[in-house]
Structure formats: structure tokens, C-alpha cells
């Protein structure tokens, strides 16, 4: 069986790493368009900024913060009532997924075919920006897929997102006890299973 927490930590680490690269590319693009050098033919030499680059900048910052928070929750077995559950993770992940989809799609519409100007640095920055936006979207899609598959296989929508349900080690709640008609509680052990 695959070590599910380690797999998720590695995907979130890759997401944080590629988001840092995207953060640098978007910052370089915003700096270039707001400080256009003299004699540059872009936009007749007038400063401007691209709103979609600002959206990708904000998305990459949120993705970095979210990735490190989730890595911390998984590694430290952090348990909170809402944010540290699979439900909270899936909501946050879906928001980032939509933001990356919108940013990557619009950036591809504007700068998808820049092969004719690859000798200029701004075109290479835009090409790399589009590529890293799609890479981050693909990583978020993988994380979303494996989280949904794990939640469906284990029925853990409201369980702690660290994915290690050991009743002796978890202080999340008394969800390991079930009520019975005899008035006594029966201790049940929730096992983590995954279909691959």
C-alpha cells in the first residue's frame, strides 16, 4: 500500500516549489510592464500591467501558504474542527484549482503562441509563466483526485486531513465509539484503506 501522507506531502511540496517559481515569473512580468524601458515598442512605451498576471501572482502566494499549512497539518497530525479536516482541505484545494484553471486558461489565450519572439526575454518569461501555471494546475488536479479517492474509499469527509486514524493517537473526538441499543458503547477501530 502506498504511504498516503507521504504521497500528499510530496505533491504539496512540488506545488509549493512550482508556485515559488510562478511567483518569481509573475513578479518579473509585473516589474517589466510597470517599468517599460525607453525605446521598448511594447504598448508604445507606456507602463501598464496585465490583470491576469496579478491573478496568477495572488494564486501562487495563496498556493504557497496553503501548501505549507497542509504539509504542517499532515506532518504534525494537527487536528482542528473544520480547516484540518478533509472537507476543509477539499474546499481550499478546489478554490485554488479554479483559480489556477482560470489563470492558466486566460494566460494561454493571450500568450499561447509566442514562438515568433523567443529571442526576447519578455516573451520567454511569458512562455515560462504559462507553462508553470499549467504545471501547478495539473499538480492541484492530482492532489484533488487522490484526496477525493481517499475520502470516498474511507468515508473520511469530516476526519482529520492527516489521514492517520489511530483512535489511541487521535484526540479529534470520540468518533471511535458507536452507540448501541444496550446502552453500552462499542469501540470500533477505523482503518485507513485505499483502493490502489
In tens digits, what is the pLDDT along the chain, a chain of 196 residues?
Answer: 457 788 888 999 999 999 999 999 999 999 999 988 877 777 777 888 889 999 999 999 999 999 999 898 887 765 666 566 778 889 999 999 999 999 999 999 998 888 888 888 888 999 999 999 999 999 999 999 988 888 887 776 666 666 555 444 444 444 444 444 444 444 444 555 554 4
pLDDT score for 162: 61
| Residue 125 near residue 176 (C-beta atoms within 8 A) | no
- DSSP H helices in 35-85: 51-76
Strand blocks (E) in 11-54: none
pLDDT score for 67: 94
Q: Which three cell numbers stand for residue 86?
A: 478533509
pLDDT score for 60: 98
Distances (CA, A) of 144 to 150, 156, 185: 10, 14, 35
In angstroms, the CA 154 to CA 171 distance is 19
CATH tag, 4-165+177-187: 1.20.140
In angstroms, the CA 2 to CA 75 distance is 16
pLDDT score for 77: 64
| Residue 22 near residue 131 (C-beta atoms within 8 A) | no
Q: Tens digit of pLDDT for each residue in 90-143?
A: 999 999 999 999 999 999 999 888 888 888 888 899 999 999 999 999 999 999
For 90, residues 6+ apart whose C-beta sits below 8 A from its C-beta are 144, 147, 148, 151
pTM: 0.77
Among the listed residues 186, 175, 183, the one whose alpha carbon sits nearest the alpha carbon of residue 85: 175
Residue by residue, DSSP assigns 119-174 as TSHHHHHHHHHHHHHHHHHHHHHHHHHHHHHHHHHHT-TTSBTT----TTT--S-S
Pairing of strands 177-179, 185-187: antiparallel
pLDDT score for 14: 97
Neighbours of 78 (CB within 10 A): 15
pLDDT score for 30: 94
Q: What are phi and psi of 174, to 5 degrees?
A: -100, 45
Amino acid at each position: 500500500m502506498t504511504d498516503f501522507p507521504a504521497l500528499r506531502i510530496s505533491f504539496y511540496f512540488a506545488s509549493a516549489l512550482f508556485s515559488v517559481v510562478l511567483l518569481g515569473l509573475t513578479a518579473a512580468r509585473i516589474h517589466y510592464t510597470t517599468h517599460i524601458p525607453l525605446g521598448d515598442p511594447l504598448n508604445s512605451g507606456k507602463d501598464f500591467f496585465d490583470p491576469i498576471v496579478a491573478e496568477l501572482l495572488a494564486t501562487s502566494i495563496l498556493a504557497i501558504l496553503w501548501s505549507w499549512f497542509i504539509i504542517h497539518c499532515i506532518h504534525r497530525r494537527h487536528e482542528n474542527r473544520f480547516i484540518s479536516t478533509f472537507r476543509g482541505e477539499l474546499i481550499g484545494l478546489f478554490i485554488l484549482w479554479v483559480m489556477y484553471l482560470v489563470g492558466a486558461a486566460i494566460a494561454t489565450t493571450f500568450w499561447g503562441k509566442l514562438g515568433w519572439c523567443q529571442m526576447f526575454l519578455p516573451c520567454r518569461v511569458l512562455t515560462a509563466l504559462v507553462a508553470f501555471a499549467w504545471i501547478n494546475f495539473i499538480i492541484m488536479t492530482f492532489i484533488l483526485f487522490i484526496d477525493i479517492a481517499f475520502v470516498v474509499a474511507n468515508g473520511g469527509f469530516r476526519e482529520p486531513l492527516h489521514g492517520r486514524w489511530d483512535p489511541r493517537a487521535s484526540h479529534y473526538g470520540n468518533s471511535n465509539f458507536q452507540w448501541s441499543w444496550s446502552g453500552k458503547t462499542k469501540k470500533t477501530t477505523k482503518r485507513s484503506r485505499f483502493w490502489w
